Structure 1
Amino acid sequence: MLNIEEIKQIIPHRYPFLLIDRVEEMEVGKSVHAVKCITASEPWFTGHFPDHNVMPGVLLVEAMAQAGAVSILSMEENRGKLAFFSGIKNAKFRREVVPGDKLDIHVEITKMRRNFGSGAGKIYCGQDLCVEAEISFFIEK
């Protein structure tokens, strides 16, 4: 549905901090399914960990936030604005993410009130649930 260039028109993140490759499905302002393919050349693998590459959990939650931001910032009233993290709750890391994994990132926007909101995210590698978390955000006015 959205390629990397279209994503970059919506959110300001760029390499090496753009953590979604494409959007597969989206219901604007409600839900999104994004994808990130993990390669051995990801910059964080040089130090996390040199002999046992694992994607840092905080970056997995950030990938959820970026996917959610694409959905929220695609709303007509939010175009051209920025979305900022304001909280993380109930994060659970269930499986390591390693080179070769394809992340399916699912975020559902569960609450939106004025410029504040929250969402529930899950990341899968195939059938395996890797991460789940509740995230909250605000949109600059």
Structure 2
Amino acid sequence: MNVVKSLKVILAFAVLCIITGFIWWKIHGENHLETSREAQIRTNMASLVTIEDGYFEEYGEYTDDFEELGYVPEGNQKTKFFLDKEEIPPQFRASISEKDLPFVQKDDYQILAIYTDLAGNATFWKFKKGGKLEQIEILQK
């Protein structure tokens, strides 16, 4: 009888732990995913900026050619980086204001990053030379 009672207590405790864990995840879990996503974007963006600035030091200008830069992003890439507005897929291009589009000039650049989740929802980030990474708002269609 004591064994059955002990098993019931253990089972009740396990169910309580699972429920508590699920509630914690619903409250805090999505923020951790977003923080992780932003950290990955920041890391890859910092890498790209470092490579772009190194290219400038060597050649006296910036380039919009990833192959020429030798840039390969790290990690699971749900984020695409753009140096040229013409490379942005059409389904996203209409959602981005002119001031947020990527560009590369001889002595200036702006990088655009588009993160797409599994449901197809996109968030947009930009980095302008000398600035900071910032999330940008999409235009209403």
Category of TM-score, reference length = shorter chain: 0.3 to 0.5
Q: Radius of gyration: which is bigger?
A: 2
More strand by share: 1
Give the TM-score, by structure 2 length.
0.33
